[in-house]
Structures are given as C-alpha cells and as structure tokens.
Amino acid sequence: MARHAEKSMVEGSILPLLLNFSLPLLAGNLFQQLYNVVDASIVGKTLGSSALAAVGVSSSVQFMVLGFCIGVAIGFGIPVATQFGAGHEHLMRQYVYIGAILTGIIAVVITVLTSVFCGGILTLLRTPEEIRQDAWEYLFTIFLGLPCTLAYNYLSGVLRSIGNSRTPFLFLAFSSVLNIFLDLFCILVLHWGCFGAAFATVVSQGVSAVLCWMVIRKHFAILHLRPEDKVWDRTMALRDLNMGVPMGLQYSITAIGTMVMQTCNNTLGTLYVSAYAAGLKIKQFALSPFDAFATAASTFCAQNYGAGHRERLKKGVLTGLAIELCYSVAAALVLVFFGRTLSLLFLDASETAVLDASAKYLRYIGLFYPMLGTLVLVRQVVQGLGWSQRAMLGGVIEMFARIAVCLIFTPAWGYTAICCADQAAWTTAVVYLVPVLLIRLKKIEREQLQ
C-alpha cells in the first residue's frame, strides 16, 4: 500500500472518479450485508423460522440505533472532506481529533442506554412470548458491541473523506469472512443459538476497527496527529455535532417509522414476522449499491464545495443520479421476478406460506426502487453540502408517511399495508428533498460568485 493513498476528487473525469471510489465501497457494503445475510441464513436454516423471527423482530430498532451511529460517523467525516478538498491539512487533522473524542463519548452513552432498556424495547415492539428470550439475547449482545460499530464507521469514514475507499473495503471483507466462520462455530459447534450469531457480528466489527486504526498509523501520514492538532475547539466541535447528530437522527427518525411498521407486522403473527425478516435482509442487501454510489457523490460534492468548484459539483450530482437510476432499474427487476427464489436463502422450501409473503413484500418494494435510488443520492448530497438538518427533516417526513400507512391501513389490509408503507415514505421524502438540493446548489453558486 502506498504511503499516501489519499485521493483528491477536485480534478479529473467525474464518472471514473465516482465509479473508482464507489466500487470498493460497494464491495464493502455487500460484504457487510453478506455477514448479515449469513447470520440470518444460518439461524433460519439450522435453528428454524422461529429463531429467524427472534433475530428479525428487533431489526427496526437495530436499524435505528446502528443507523444513528453510522450517521454520526459519516457526519463527522464531512468537515474532514471539506478541509481536505480545500488543502487545509492542519484543520483537517484537528477535525479528525475532535471527531474521535466525540465518537468515544457517544459510544459510551448509547451503549449504556440501549443495554439498560433492551427488555423494555422488546416489550414496546410487542415481541411474541415464544421468541422473546432469543430476541433479548441477540439484541443485548448487539447493543454491547456498539463501540465496535462506531469505531469502525468513524475510522473508515475518515479514510473515505480523503478519497480512500479501498482500505475500509479490504478490512470489511476480511471481517466478513471471519464472521462467517464465527457464525458456523458459535451456532453449530458451541450451540450458542441466537446469541452466537450476534457475538460473531460484534467480534467481526471489532476486528475491522482495530485493523483500520493500525493501517492508518502505518500508512496514512496525512492523518497522523501532531501536538498542534490535538487542540479542543468548541466551535469546531459544535460544527461536527451540527453535521453528525442530525445525520444520525435522520437515520433514527426514519427507523422510528420502520419500528412502528414492524410493531404492526408483529401483531399479524410469527408467519409474517419471519417473512418480513427474510424480505428485509434481501432489501438491505439490494440497498448496498445505493449507499455506495450516494456516498461517492456526497464525498465528491463535499471536496469540490471546499475547493470552490461549483460547476463541477453540479455535474457530479447529475452523474451520481444517473448511476443510481441505472442500478435501481436492474435491482427492481430482480426483486420483482426473483424475490421468492432469493427468500430460499433464509427459509426452507416447505414453508410455502412464509415464502409467498416474503416474495410479496419484495415485489411491492421493487417497483419503487428508482424512487428509492433518487432519495438516497439526493439526501446524502444535501448532507455532504452542509445541510444536515434539512436532510433530517426528510427523515421526519419519511417517518410520518410510513407510520400513517401502517396505523391507518393495517387493520383493514393486514400484511398488504406493510408491503406498501415504504413506497409512501420514499415518495414523500423525494418530493421534499429534490427542491432542497436545488435551493442549496443555487445558494452555493451565489456564495462563490460574491
């Protein structure tokens, strides 16, 4: 690995830059989803659909908490990317230092709170009694591992901010393979059940964080903190929090709607809990390219905003959107026509009713994947350009739309209402966020012309 593996995105052809940045990130996301899929597949195939339901029953809460951690880490990376694009290395490293301290504080607070209230969360979700113990063991272990999640996402976010997406991918790929072996060992050899699946995931993410830190120390001199960089600045810390917390809350607020959606689904019985759990794993796997392309576009825009390249910034948005839409059409075709086949990764062929329900969920959401691709890219670009609070409002809109569909229509439509809730959330958020992005681009143009 080269000593200076950082990559500026303020010059060069835009499409190759976005693809070269996003492909390692995409591979990393896919590996991350892979060990989530492996968790669910091994649990479902070896322990049965009830155990799969126990793992999946709290997926919305996991998304809410883990999403907040990931959002905060991504947000702390935006000032780093902006200062890197502007060529201000001292300020960049100072932001790295302040972000690390804030990440550590947040890790302690969130881990304590979620662990203490784990049982109450499962009660709030109306978890069926027959799967409650397994669900608690799995969720409690995931919560205890949150510092590993935050550490990896912060360190990898810093690397991506300076244009390096390859290194986080390599470590994530390694930890994904490790997770697969640990899953098999903990579940099949040690017979630890759902706890074993969660333990394997936490250990794997911890290994990713440690490897990331070691390589930064050895190979990325630009990120090595000097005494003058280790200075606490209240204004810079507030800027970090102003970027990170709204991004984290946006994920969490969106997840509240998903949590209400899952709570409504849990009342329909274990069959639909299992079907939704399987469908959600496939949906999350198919989401990975959206996140990769959007992160590439967001980093590109943050660096070019810092460098004052407004026209290049606009072209980056359009190029990223074109990439997202091309993928979304391909993903939609797969989900619509092959959703039932994909569900066999987690469910036995004899469970026909569960397979049919999972396929129905995937078919319904697949039809709206182009809308989702637009939403993910526009939201992350708005965040990358410094309007995290407005992006968070998009999450609030998603939440209310999802909740409204579930609460109003589930009593009459049952599982069909669950299958339609995501589409309403995506559409309403896009209607709000697209004008916000256009206004932000106009504001940047006025600022740079003055």
Q: What does the pLDDT profile of the chain (450 residues) look like in tens digits? A: 333 456 677 788 888 888 888 888 787 777 766 666 666 677 776 776 667 777 766 666 777 788 888 888 878 888 888 888 778 889 999 999 999 999 999 999 999 998 898 888 888 777 777 778 888 888 899 899 999 989 988 998 888 888 787 887 788 778 878 888 888 888 888 888 778 888 988 898 888 888 889 888 888 888 888 989 889 999 999 988 888 888 788 777 777 787 788 788 888 888 888 888 888 878 878 888 888 888 888 888 888 887 788 888 888 899 999 999 999 999 999 999 998 998 888 777 888 888 999 999 999 999 999 999 999 999 989 988 878 788 888 888 988 999 999 999 999 898 999 999 999 999 999 999 999 999 999 988 887 666
Cβ proximity of 278 and 39 under 8 Å: no
Interhelix angle 270-307/310-343, nearest 10 degrees: 160
> Which residue, among 401, 199, 363, has the nearest Cα to 282 in the 3D structure?
363
Whole-model pTM over 0.85: no
- The pLDDT value recorded for residue 7 is 66
Rounded distance between C-alpha atoms, residue 6 and residue 2, angstroms: 9
Cα atoms in the Cβ-side hemisphere of radius 13 Å centred on 168: 29
- The pLDDT value recorded for residue 181 is 86
Where are the domains positioned within the chain?
Answer: 14-449
Rounded distance between C-alpha atoms, residue 407 and residue 55, angstroms: 24
- The pLDDT value recorded for residue 4 is 44
- The pLDDT value recorded for residue 283 is 87
Cβ proximity of 429 and 392 under 8 Å: no
Rounded distance between C-alpha atoms, residue 8 and residue 2, angstroms: 15
Rounded distance between C-alpha atoms, residue 94 and residue 235, angstroms: 12
At 308, the amino acid letter reads G
Q: What letter would DSSP give residue 192? A: -
Rounded distance between C-alpha atoms, residue 293 and residue 401, angstroms: 25
State both tokens at 178.
Answer: 């490790």
